Amino acid sequence: MTYSTYLDLETLLGAQHPVSRPPQHDEMLFIIQHQTTELWLKLVLHEIRAARAAFDDDAPDIALKGIARVKHIQQTLTEQWSVLATLTPTEYARFRGALGNSSGFQSYQYRAVEFILGNKNPAILAVFADEPHAAAELTALVSEPTLYDAFWRHLARTGLEVPRSTLERDVTGRYALDPALLPLVKSVYQAPQQYWSVYETFEELVDLEENFQLWRFRHLRTVLRTIGSARGTGGTSGAGFLRRALEVSFFPELFAVRTETGAP
């Protein structure tokens, strides 16, 4: 066993195949940026699945350890945009046409992260009709509880009064704010010392969502810097699509409670 064989570096370092003709120097940056993002997303999924399983096993400390690791990965993903931002509009234009219909919109791992965090959209499965592995993974995630679902079920088993509307919701749909949850969330924020572990988990989930939004925002700013408001590759709306994504909330009650906490 050597370093190279353990990491399968021959495969990894041989996976960059620029398609521009004549070859454009900056395409290598574009490829590696997106490949490394996919590797980090693979680890994010690995950790969130483990955190969900830990909540299922009523082991919240183990779940929080995994979420903490995801938060560090998110910081790396966000900062990574600064490397791609060195790609000027002129440099990108030299090879953009060679990308054809390929688009980050088609990243099934990005969709998988969104699905397991609650932003499920079964209609998107049509995008992966020609990728059986991707379609199978996303289809499975549609029918599975999210990280948030697992958390509330864990709290119910500890004796907290989690509403039936939360525990029995249709997990195949996109998660939406459940007003019946707000009294419980508010009571935790009003008495953090009494519910310290729950309070801490709330804030860890808030960090997780906020980091995801920062990553999305940095993506938006990089796109604006590189192609402005032009349409994205693959026919997407580019910056418009990314702006709409900023409105998505995975854990809406944990943000809605901030309006009520401390209010007269």
Residue 233, marked binder:
yes
**The pair of three-digit structure tokens given for residue 23, joined into one six-digit string:** 């070859």
Residue 96, marked binder:
yes
**The pair of three-digit structure tokens given for residue 36, joined into one six-digit string:** 């490394």
Residue 33, marked binder:
yes
CA–CA gap between residue 69 and residue 199 (Å, rounded): 19
Contact 161, 184 (CB under 8 A): yes
CA–CA gap between residue 140 and residue 122 (Å, rounded): 11
Residue 32, marked binder:
yes
Residue 244, marked binder:
no
Residue 30, marked binder:
yes
Residue 92, marked binder:
yes
CA–CA gap between residue 102 and residue 234 (Å, rounded): 5
Contact 248, 119 (CB under 8 A): yes
Residue 154, marked binder:
no
CA–CA gap between residue 240 and residue 181 (Å, rounded): 32
Residue 25, marked binder:
no
CA–CA gap between residue 246 and residue 168 (Å, rounded): 28
CA–CA gap between residue 175 and residue 146 (Å, rounded): 9
Chain mean position to CA 132: 21
Binding-site annotation, residues for substrate? 30-34, 92, 96, 233
The annotation places the binding site at 30-34, 92, 96, 219, 233
Q: Which residues are annotated as a binding site for heme?
A: 219
